[in-house]
Amino acid sequence: MAFFSENSAFLWFLAALAFFVLEVLSPTFFLAFFGVGALASALVALALPEGTGVQWTVFLLVSTAGLFLLRKKIRFFLKADHPENDSFGDPLVRERYLGREAVVVKPITPEQDGQAELDGTNWRARSAGGTFAAGERARVERVEDLMLVVSKAEQVR
């Protein structure tokens, strides 16, 4: 315990660095908040080197507060939930999927997502309007992350 209390600020900075590196390597977006919490704890450790309880409290509070209060807002601006950043901004994705017909595997309603098969792969599917029974054909209007948004094949222009 003496090693931690003597080197706590340095160890918190190392933990922050590790969280940030892992965030870059991760497909999700949540480790950065723990990196910010570790940085906050490092600053507290510089001011209160013997206050390991306070450091851990700051780490937990800053990390979880950031995670719950800011994650959705930051993801919106980074990509995942922003409508201008859908997959069809990429011409290769647009060419490969837009307008193609998929076969409904699990029923899809406007209220309930289902599944559709396209190119031998089952995708989560959401209705852009209408209800789809299993076996019915649906036309791909767009892709949102890993979900096809489909409409009735005869309704698409």
Domains of the chain (ranges, CATH numbers): 2-78 (no CATH), 86-152 (2.40.50.140)
Question: Which DSSP string do the residues of 38-52 spell out, in sequence order?
Answer: HHHHHHHHHH-TT-H
Quote the pLDDT of residue 15. Answer: 95
CA 139 to chain centre: 26
Q: What share of the chain is helix, strand, coil (3-state, %, to 5)?
A: 50, 20, 25
Quote the pLDDT of residue 84. Answer: 47
Sorted by sequence, the CB contacts under 8 Å of residue 43 that are 6+ apart come out as: 9
Both structure tokens of 146? 């890993």
What φ, ψ does residue 115 adopt, rounded to 5°? -135, 150
Give the C-alpha separation, 148 to 46, whole Å. Answer: 50
Q: Are 43 and 8 in contact (CB under 8 A)?
A: no
Please name the residue that has the structure tokens 């206050």. 51
pLDDT per position as a tens digit, 74-115: 666 655 444 444 444 566 666 678 889 999 999 999 999 999
Both structure tokens of 46? 């510089």
Q: Look at residue 20 and give its three-state secondary structure.
A: helix
Sorted by sequence, the CB contacts under 8 Å of residue 10 that are 6+ apart come out as: 42
What φ, ψ does residue 119 adopt, rounded to 5°? 55, 40
pLDDT per position as a tens digit, 3-47: 555 688 999 999 999 999 998 887 777 788 899 999 999 999 998
Confidence of residue 129 (pLDDT cuts 50, 70, 90): confident
Give the C-alpha separation, 116 to 125, whole Å. Answer: 6
